Structure 1
Amino acid sequence: MTNTDVWRLSATETVAHTTAGDLTAENTVAAALDRMDAVNPDLNAVVDFCTQDAQARALALDKARSSGAPTGPLHGVPVTIKINVDQTGYASSNGVVALKDLIAPADAPIVARLQEAGAVIIGRTNTPEFSFRADTDNPLHGRTHNPWGRHVSPGGSSGGAGSAVMAGIGALAHGNDIGGSLRFPAAANGAVTVKPGLGRVAAWNPSQTAERGLLAQSMSVQGLLARTAQDLHLSMPIIVQPDARDPFHAPLPWRGPALDGPIKVGFTKNTYEFDLHPEVSRALDIARDALVDAGYQIEEIDPPHLRDCGMDGYRALMGEVLAMMGESVRQHGSPTINAIFDEYFDQFTPYKDTELLNMMAKRSFYAREWSVFQQEYPLVLCPFLPQPFFAPDRDTQGPEGVREVLGSALWSYSMNFMGLPAACIPTHVAELPQGPQPMNVQIVARRWREDLAVDAAIAIEARAGRICDALWQRMA
């Protein structure tokens, strides 16, 4: 195989070849590094390079295999890590100039699990300042671009991860999600992801000097972006393994028990006060028809308390951010991020004091209502965003910009507030006046049943195909 053939392989395909001995880890890493050299200068998706460490690790993996050592489930798979998570010897800058020299003393749990499984980290991907935008730009590393073109944002906060994996820089990309930061880049770039539920993936940064707020702990999760849904069944069982440094991790197997009969899927196109774009409606129709053909039972539903849950959850999060991060953002953030936060606080009036405590308590009400609802509907097929993905810097353009970027994302942050798993999967490429871009849908799963969401994503992908192939043809 040529290097081009190799970097195009999915993680599942890569492992099949490295396990069989058709490819070495040195082969797969060299191809990924060559691809990074070719396309990253235009994208700025990877901003911290692990080239020498990656080459040395690939050689070590090959040497171990040749000596008879067993191979891991991700043997030789090139991956990237987001710059807000600790990787030994690298800066966890989080896109903030003041943190550019915050060198990690040890690996975060997800970094350790990936490497133990045989993955090779080839680079670290860009994020906005403080990882708190749905777009990716910062004064430290600059703007990340979407491989589909400059007309569409790469999303955020894992925008570098989404851009990299879809451009062919590694088969898997680490990211995280507190209000949509895995799913925004998946939607923007055409990747597939599943936002894990609360407690599923152990999380902790050895470089941190204080604990995060309670809502940050309960809403933020670690995860992966891939080019094909099957790769999530390969990789997610690895990162859900326990780590004693996260005392609230839920040590559950990746696969839950089989459900009786055809799985009921609640289906909705409800976008509340926001207009539903015809291409988003088409994406939902494609996904629904694919699930019907795959044997799922589809019923139209009225989701319980979705809008109130989303707004209460984000306003509560803004209250915690204002109280615990406000001073740091003012002191160390750029004028751009401060202006965006001011707009956030205007549109999502932060809950404070007793009101904030009451909303933290009400989180259980929303989660309970959905828990009961999902006894009948283990999966919900819904929009992620009501409109095609927005242009770069849309959130810097006043109230209307922030309303389009975050205000309309009710289906996103509501899932974080309740701690429910949610997958995003592309269905087609829309030829829009501003340029082509992928369209996607969201699949919400019952608590701790990420595997069900991935099964449904695989069924949709079987009908829709891999979006990366159309992207690479365009990039060529």
Structure 2
Amino acid sequence: MTNELWRWSALDLAQAIRAGDVSSREAVQSCLARAEQVNPAFNPLSEIHAGQALGSADAADAAVRDKKELGMLHGVPVTIKANADLAGSATTNGVVAYRDVVAQESNPAVDNWVKAGAVVIGRTNVPAFSWRWFTDNDLHGRTVNPFDAARTPGGSSGGAAVAAALGIGALAHGSDQGGSIRYPAYACGVAGLRPSQGRVPAFNASQRSERPVASQMAATQGPLGRTIADLRLGLAAMSSGDARDPWWVPAPLELRQPGESRRVALFRGTAAFRADPAVLDALERSAAWLEDAGYIVEDATPPRFDEAADLWLNVLMNESSGSMQREIERVGDRAIQRAYQSMLAHTSILDKDGFIEAMAMRTTILREWSVFFDRFPVLLMPVSFERPFLVDEDQQGDEAMGRMIRAQSPLISTAILGLPGLSVPVGLSDGVPMGVQVAAGRFREDLCLAAGEAIEARASWNVLERLSF
């Protein structure tokens, strides 16, 4: 049994370790053996911390024997994304020049998992600067989608999604500024939660300067896993407050249910960009499953959807045109340089007044979405309007990038507004994972997770059963 512990959920492992039915060492050894088996072929882990992990596991088992107070992730093996500070480990962010940027302290989100008892077994791969929907870089190499090597595993938390799909750790840490949790989860057949901005504290002490304000408003950190119950556990452990993040909000994980909490808006797309038939099929099936669970599903379009997506591109790209662009040009690999230039080709250049007006418009659009969520507390929509992209599709020029940006509108529109979004796997289409996104108002992760669980229960999807290795 113990050599199959890599298949267990985080929730089951936490309960079994707490009860003494299995040891943390056994769980960690099982996941490390799994990594040894599959990491060479798929490369989700950029680093494996076997010795440290086994030492932490032994300490966790001693705490169980000594009947000490145990955290909610006590002894559970997890992975940490390579763009988040982990004390004693390099925050490479997929950049060769950063291979020696060793963190002296951990990111608050990472700290929270460790304080909850999690055992870090390794670091997951990212694209350079965590700035692409693909996971490949000159330092750590390419991460491969375990379902279809010709398609992206997503980015930038591509290593995290592949690790979760393959059973290398029960939970994976990720971050999301433009779909970087939800898109890899979608591409790899796992679940991924982007929390509201302010829900999970974050800060990298290793960073040279504070990130710009629009990035602060869009970026969040959250969990990826094989079940939504595990995401609940991962979020609860990750969201404790930390004084290093002044944006953190002490919002309860469960809030009062709105009177229309069972009402769902079904959004298929806009006239400007029609969704792939497989995407629409996943939406229709999920809508039917929600209705079966007692939800009331109605067609509805969130306000200024296209404007919100455009806002993400314009404010983030304009504010990155200084030090970030110079750093990409100085030390970025060719892939990120090409992708960045193609994104610039679709960016409206804003002067100071234009940028101020754009940031003000963010509030206007968010206000209108908040009113929309009063009527429809849950929004069911695509993760992306397309199936997972072919590998390196962002290297095919400006026209290809323009189409990709439009396809990712469901990801980037919600990101710039700081809203929560949940990627839920629902099955395969011609061997490619498919999923849907559930979004809600600020700090309503509880509504996303509840609707996601209703879909999950009826989809009967188990990613490990679909992989033959």
The TM-score by the shorter chain falls in which range?
over 0.9
SS at match of 1:123: strand
SS at match of 1:3: helix
Alignment of 1:327 onto 2:322: no
* TM superposition shift of 1:406: 2.6
Moved more, 324-333 or 262-271: 262-271
Partner of 2:181: 182
Q: Structure 2 matches for 1:17-416, cutoff 5 A? A: 17-260=16-259, 263-416=262-415
Partner of 1:3: 3
* TM superposition shift of 1:403: 2.8
Between the aligned partners of 2:345 and 2:218, the Cα distance in structure 1 is 21
Q: State how many pairs are aligned.
A: 469
SS at match of 2:432: strand
Partner of 2:450: 455
Instruction: List, as ranges, runs of 4+ consecutive aligned residues in structure 1 with deviation greater than 6 Å.
Output: none
Partner of 1:440: 435
* TM superposition shift of 1:269: 0.8
Deviations 1:382-405, CA, capped at 9 Å, x for gaps? 112112111111110112331343
Deviations 1:376-430, CA, capped at 9 Å, x for gaps? 1111101121121111111101123313433321111111111111111011111
CA contact (8 A) 2:165 2:464 kept: no
User: TM-score normalised to the size of structure 2?
Assistant: 0.98
* TM superposition shift of 1:332: 0.9
Letter of the aligned partner of 1:3 in structure 2? N
Between the aligned partners of 2:403 and 2:187, the Cα distance in structure 1 is 14
Between the aligned partners of 2:390 and 2:261, the Cα distance in structure 1 is 40
CA contact (8 A) 1:229 1:457 kept: yes
CA contact (8 A) 1:46 1:125 kept: yes
Between the aligned partners of 1:110 and 1:10, the Cα distance in structure 2 is 20
* TM superposition shift of 1:209: 2.7
Letter of the aligned partner of 2:267 in structure 1? T
SS at match of 2:435: strand
Between the aligned partners of 1:243 and 1:162, the Cα distance in structure 2 is 26
Question: Unpaired runs of 5+ in structure 1?
Answer: none
CA contact (8 A) 1:86 1:205 kept: yes
SS at match of 2:172: strand
CA contact (8 A) 2:273 2:406 kept: no
Letter of the aligned partner of 1:81 in structure 2? I
Deviations 1:91-143, CA, capped at 9 Å, x for gaps? 00111111110000011101111011111100000000110000001111111
Between the aligned partners of 2:165 and 2:328, the Cα distance in structure 1 is 31
CA contact (8 A) 1:316 1:350 kept: no
Letter of the aligned partner of 2:243 in structure 1? A
User: TM-score normalised to the size of structure 1?
Assistant: 0.96
Moved more, 296-305 or 129-138: 296-305
Alignment of 1:422 onto 2:457: no
Question: Unpaired runs of 5+ in structure 2?
Answer: none
CA contact (8 A) 1:107 1:205 kept: yes
* TM superposition shift of 1:261: 5.6
Between the aligned partners of 2:162 and 2:248, the Cα distance in structure 1 is 29
Between the aligned partners of 1:352 and 1:22, the Cα distance in structure 2 is 62
CA contact (8 A) 1:317 1:350 kept: no
Over the matched positions of the two proteins, sequence identity in percent amounts to 39
Between the aligned partners of 1:219 and 1:384, the Cα distance in structure 2 is 17
Between the aligned partners of 2:152 and 2:369, the Cα distance in structure 1 is 32
Deviations 1:233-274, CA, capped at 9 Å, x for gaps? 222111111000001100112111233365111112124422
SS at match of 1:427: strand
SS at match of 1:295: coil
Moved more, 347-356 or 50-59: 347-356
Between the aligned partners of 1:238 and 1:271, the Cα distance in structure 2 is 37
Moved more, 181-190 or 264-273: 264-273
SS at match of 2:369: helix
